[in-house]
Amino acid sequence: MEGPSIVILVEELEPFVGKKPKVDGSAPLSVAEWKLLTGKCICEVRSWGKHFLIRFEETWVRIHFLMFGSYRINHSRGRPPKLRFRFGKDEIEFYTCSVKILEQGISDYDWSIDVMSKKWSAGKALTNVKKMPKSSVCDALMDQSIFAGVGNIIKNEVLFLQRMHPERRIGDLNTEELKSLVRSTRAYCKKFYVWKKKNILKRNWQVFRKKTCPECLRTLTKKHTGIGQRRSFYCIKCQKK
């Protein structure tokens, strides 16, 4: 689940803000931690990168969906959720996710690196990315301390839009190329959000899980790239090293 999807989740939960759910689930929280959520109302929901954040009065909860996480609103999967909120006839279930109580709240979050945030800063992204000249662009884009919210789909699509090879080194790019990469990443995240909401995300994928380059019709290369060894789909002709 990538950043834009979490923003959509926030919107879907807005109608429940101010309400007091019955809370349960199989998440491994201590008795004391469960107690922090029971009988409390949801005061606020927000996102930071791939983190979904819920404030129960004085307590912040962080849900991270990792690779396989999902959620359902009034449409249970019929297996035990990690976390469940029930409001009268409405229920929300979160599956296969990590659930954490944030002891020190959300004061440590830097909103300026969240690609979906109003406070996002292109300048900061540029400064941060320049600090890792030895890294491949594919790793830089996936670095959550620089581009919080960017995942493997966004990485692949942005690199194709930039006609940039995933294994190019940050240090080999000039400032204009880096600026363009940073801006394109933000822009694509916004598109991802719009397309996902309209349910037309997949049909807009250019290279992710695709076989042929939409530009030259050559067969795309499929390779695990970078330190992260995440799958990259790219065209060796259109995306030069």
Partner DNA sequence: CAAATTGTTTAGCT
Partner DNA sequence: CAGCTAAACAATTT
Interaction site with DNA (CB under 7 A): 1-2, 5, 49-50, 64, 66-68, 70, 77, 79, 95-96, 142, 144, 151-153, 208-209, 222, 227-228, 230-231
Q: How far apart are CA 25 and CA 71, in angstroms?
A: 13
| Rounded least distance, CB 50 to DNA, Å | 4
Q: Which is nearer to DNA, 95 or 234 (CB)?
A: 95
Q: Which is nearer to DNA, 21 or 151 (CB)?
A: 151
Q: How far apart are CA 22 and CA 82, in angstroms?
A: 14
Cα–Cα distance list, 55 to 16, 118, 152 (Å): 12, 20, 29
Q: Which is nearer to DNA, 51 or 168 (CB)?
A: 51
Q: How far apart are CA 86 and CA 67, in angstroms?
A: 25
Tokens of 160: 């194709």
| Rounded least distance, CB 97 to DNA, Å | 9
| Rounded least distance, CB 19 to DNA, Å | 27
Q: Which is nearer to DNA, 5 or 185 (CB)?
A: 5
* Residue type present at position 16: F
Q: Which is nearer to DNA, 118 or 203 (CB)?
A: 203
- Of 116, 119, 205, nearest to 155 by C-alpha is 205
| Rounded least distance, CB 147 to DNA, Å | 10
| Rounded least distance, CB 18 to DNA, Å | 29
| Rounded least distance, CB 145 to DNA, Å | 9
Question: How many C-beta neighbours within 10 Å does residue 127 have?
Answer: 12
Burial pattern 169-193, b for ≥16 Cβ within 10 A else e, equals: ebeebeeeebbebbebbbebbeebb
Q: Which is nearer to DNA, 42 or 114 (CB)?
A: 114
Contact 97, 66 (CB under 8 A): yes
Q: How far apart are CA 97 and CA 166, in angstroms?
A: 29
